[in-house]
Amino acid sequence: MQTLDLSDPQTRLIVLTGAGTSAESGIPTYRAMNGLWRTHSIQEVATAYGFLNDPALGWRFYSERRVDALAASPNAGHVALADIEERLGDRFLLVTQNIDGLHQRAGSRRVIELHGNLLHSRCTVCDRPPFADDRLYQELPLPLCEVCTDRAAPGMIRPAVVWFGEAIQGADMARVEKFMESAPRGHLVFLAAGTSGVVTPASAFVEDAKRLAAATWLVNLEPPENVGYFQNVLLGASGAIFPALFGVTPG
């Protein structure tokens, strides 16, 4: 098994994870043959319009996702990433498309959640910051925002996730860009795992990394659409590959 040499104190490692890394913990993916998009319409449960049109359906769907996330445990891949972060410190950044919070539960702290967090909620109307919330809203009445109670029409509480048609936080994108560009040329390693390579803007990160002369690595069960951008491709589960790749001894 190949290993990543991260011993040079100038080398920085940025890791992008997708749904495949959580599938190993039993979290259903959206795009697989039996994934969630096979049984639910994107327009119904993954757009702001769909939620406002039928918030009861939306909350039933996301309450079920919360049940899945809370029942899951971090796998060996999550743990290996937390271990390498401990070793590298500020030379490490984890960017995830996942919303289940498993990286943090494994011990990762330098995490950017591009698509939000399933176990947080926010208001549909006011600028109240997202707040931790793992409650299950499967029965009527649906929750209203306590901060909006003085409004004629208080806002509804919704999952603090990024739906189709919604923008990723500009501050998150800026943080990714700053991290990659701060590495001395030739001292950046970009590693993607468990991602389809089709969801923007994350799918473009490897292109940015190559522009910065980064070493590019991919760990995936099968080659994604953008596999040609990667110099090193390891096919398999991240939980099986990461410990050896990082030189981590499984606990």
CATH, residue 40: 3.30.1600.10
What tokens were used for 90? Answer: 């500020």
How far apart CA 106 and CA 86 sit, in angstroms, is 12
- Looking at residue 84, its pLDDT comes to 97
Confidence of residue 174 (pLDDT cuts 50, 70, 90): very high
Average pLDDT over residues 20-36: 74
Q: ∠ CA 70-73-79 to the nearest 5 degrees?
A: 135
Give per-residue pLDDT as tens, 107-145. Answer: 999 999 999 999 999 999 999 999 999 999 988 889 999
State how many domains the chain has.
2
Residue 246 sits in the same domain as residue 194:
yes
Domain that holds residue 106: 1-27+74-115+169-251
Residue 200 sits in the same domain as residue 83:
yes
Residue 196 sits in the same domain as residue 226:
yes
Residue 201 sits in the same domain as residue 101:
yes
Residue 203 sits in the same domain as residue 98:
yes
Residue 78 sits in the same domain as residue 66:
no
Residue 137 sits in the same domain as residue 46:
yes
Catalytic residue flag (residue 115): yes
Closest CA to 102 of 246, 238, 249: 238
Average pLDDT over residues 41-58: 91
Confidence of residue 31 (pLDDT cuts 50, 70, 90): low
SS3 state of residue 85: helix
Phi, psi of 31 (to 5 degrees): -105, -5
Residue 236 sits in the same domain as residue 174:
yes
Q: Which of 40, 115, 120, 187 is catalytic?
A: 115
Average pLDDT over residues 47-69: 93
* 94 pLDDT higher than 80: yes
